[in-house]
Amino acid sequence: MKFAHMADCHLGGWRHPKMRELSFKYFEEAISRSIKKNVDFILISGDLFNTSLPGVDILKATVKKLKELRNNGIPVYIIAGSHDYSPSGKTMLDVLEEAELVKNVFVGKVVDGKLRLDFTIDEKTGAKITGMLGKRGMLERTYYEDLDKEFLEKEEGIKIFMFHTALTELKPKSLEKMSSSPVSLLPVGFEYYAGGHVHIVENKTMLGYKNVVYPGPTFPNTFYELEELGRGGFFIYDEGNVNFEEINLCVVKNLKFVVDGKIPEEVTQNIMDEIEGKTFFNNIILIRIAGILSSGKVSDIDFNRIYHNLYERNAYFIMRNTVKLSSKDFEEMVVKEGPQQDIEKDIIDDHIGQIDVKNWDKEKELDMINKMMTLLNSSKQDGEKVYEYEDRIVKDLGKLLDVDV
């Protein structure tokens, strides 16, 4: 048995057209390599798209690649992730499944108060695949708590469990504030646990849990991820061997500067001196500047000159990060950075408990915040007018908070 395991493609997620196009090229490369390596099937463990209703151009390009897989006899098994899941139940994943381009393995029913998942059997290999979708705010945890694990564990054969959630045991220190669940919520005894949601590359075996794997994104989704990961990729399982396939269509170059006591003109010249005489063909350039300027404004740094010079040296794309740069002439503002989930959690932790709500403890308040965030992130339904969408959201919030609106 040989299969590819991908996750967190977030197709359509980058706002800038060049980076959105590059992100898709990495996805195309992952698909092309999977075909060349004659995999039996492909697993995509959530967040194929960055939203439940992606743009038409992204959808058309994705359909083209999925058709290529179908024409090569390679089925694609998926689960929804926290980005392409929709509380309305209408996502583009359903359309792809209806077109027989993918198969969603999150299928089951409630039996005696327990969630009993069904297995999807791969025709060629006989592998038995099941999995759990992901939701924003870790709201899928209640599904795990109600999961009939015994039913899954007693099934014989080669079994694969797909999931889109953070596991505490595999969470790196840099993501320690991210909400997570213990691995014990997963059923034991499977051959492979195909993870998603946490943008790290990890393959770990624990007692009762063999091959617990996060492939990371097929292409980094933020400045922070470009800096930390530097490339995209996916895993290939081949008869028990699990190997990472690194994708490097562009090289990421990090330019870091600490500029304490300098003025904007000096910072500009320092950066120009650093890039002088070098070529950056097809490179993604990340410029990170930290420190406290002795005078002037951050905006006085001549980024137009710097960018022009780098693009003349054939850089593919340039990004800058100045969140840790301030000036003595202006009041310093603390700006948090890092993965979106960490920032959201920090903001919630900073403000939770400030409003006294009768009969609400901290746990209840946190639960309500997560539910409201999920509701407010829900997408507009097909054919729904803007005013209808807004009215529905307000009414649903009213029901959630048990107030008349």
Residues marked active site are found at 83
* Residue 363 to residues 167, 353, 367, 370, 403, Cα–Cα distance (Å): 20, 10, 6, 11, 20
Give start and end residues of each alpha helix (H) in 110-159: 141-145, 149-153
What is the rounded CA–CA span in Å between residue 39 and residue 125? 11
Output the six-digit token pair for 179: 């909400």
Report CA dihedral (375, 380, 385, 390) to the nearest 10 degrees. Answer: 20
Give the residues across from 319 on adjacent strands: 286
Q: What does the DSSP assignment read for 196-261?
A: -SS---EEEEETTEEEEEE---SS--SHHHHHHT-SEEEEEEETTEEEEEEE-SSEEEEEEEE-TT
Instruction: Give CA–CA dist 35/239, Å, rounded.
Output: 17
Question: DSSP code of 115?
Answer: E
Which residues face 241 on adjacent strands?
A: 238
Neighbours of 296 (CB within 10 A): 18
Residues 65, 67, 71, 75: is their CA dihedral positive or negative?
A: positive
CB 5 within 8 A of CB 215: yes
How many angstroms separate the CA atoms of 161 and 79, rounded? Answer: 10
CA dist 134 and 143 (Å) reads 10
Phi first, then psi, for residue 67 (nearest 5°) are -65, -35
